[in-house]
Amino acid sequence: VDAQPKARRAQAAAAKKQQNSQGQLTRRAQLMFPTAIDMPEDVVWRRDIYRELDLNVDANAALYYPVEPIGKQLNLFTYIFKLALNGYIPVYEYRLDGNEAFDDSSKVDMKTILENYHIYYEEKDGKVRVDNSDIPSAEVKMYYLKESAYYDQANSSFHIKVQALCPVMVEEDAFSLSDDSGEKQVTQYPLFWVKYSELEPFLNRQTVMVSGMNNAAQVS
């Protein structure tokens, strides 16, 4: 008679322990996977939209500063650069014909990016290292964005989702004459594409300052 409640208590304790373990795994999984809902593949209507995100605009300054890391504070490009350099996210080729692809054949090795854009690096024991001062975050003043606007017939709703972003180095030609508008000629160098779904789990853990007047005002 006494053994039956004791067995039940042991079974309940084991079940609770398993439930807590599964809860911990779920929380860890939430750090590794994006929170946004993926776009269904069988949508009835979809339109891809390409935008330019100018970091010279005050509203986007939080993505540009600090130009060089200050403690744990990184700007968006430095964070993307370090993630790609350490192999946490893949980067994809920027094609001049505008037909970007995100398959394995379009992936680009970061060492190739470093050599193509003359970014100084050191290689030791098979690992590539780039000093913070050599990361060209100051020159990345623009991003190309690829968005998809689509209609989800499953729940009769309209959505807009960022599919990918491409950091762009912007260089002013000091030796060229200004055009009729008085602006200096600039050259844009798109570096690579990054899938937002692969970048999003890391962005969820990174914070940026949203106010130049209050350094404590931060969001993910």
pLDDT digits (tens, 9 = 90+) for 129-148: 999 999 999 999 999 999 99
Give the lowest-confidence range in 36-45, 62-71, 98-107. Answer: 36-45
Burial of 189 (0-12, 13-18, 19+ CB in 10 A): middle
Question: According to the model, what pLDDT value does residue 34 have?
Answer: 46
The tokens for 142 are 């623009």
What value, to the nearest 5°, has the Cα angle with vertex 108 and ends 105 and 114?
165
What is the pTM (predicted TM-score) of this model?
Answer: 0.76
Window from 3-17, 43-57, 74-88, 198-212 with minimum mean pLDDT: 3-17
Contact 191, 108 (CB under 8 A): no
Bigger pLDDT: 35 vs 173:
173
Using CB atoms within 10 A of its CB, is residue 84 exposed (0-12), middle (13-18) or buried (19+)? Answer: buried
Burial of 137 (0-12, 13-18, 19+ CB in 10 A): buried
Q: What is the pLDDT of residue 169?
A: 96
Highest mean pLDDT, choosing among 2-16, 19-33, 144-158: 144-158
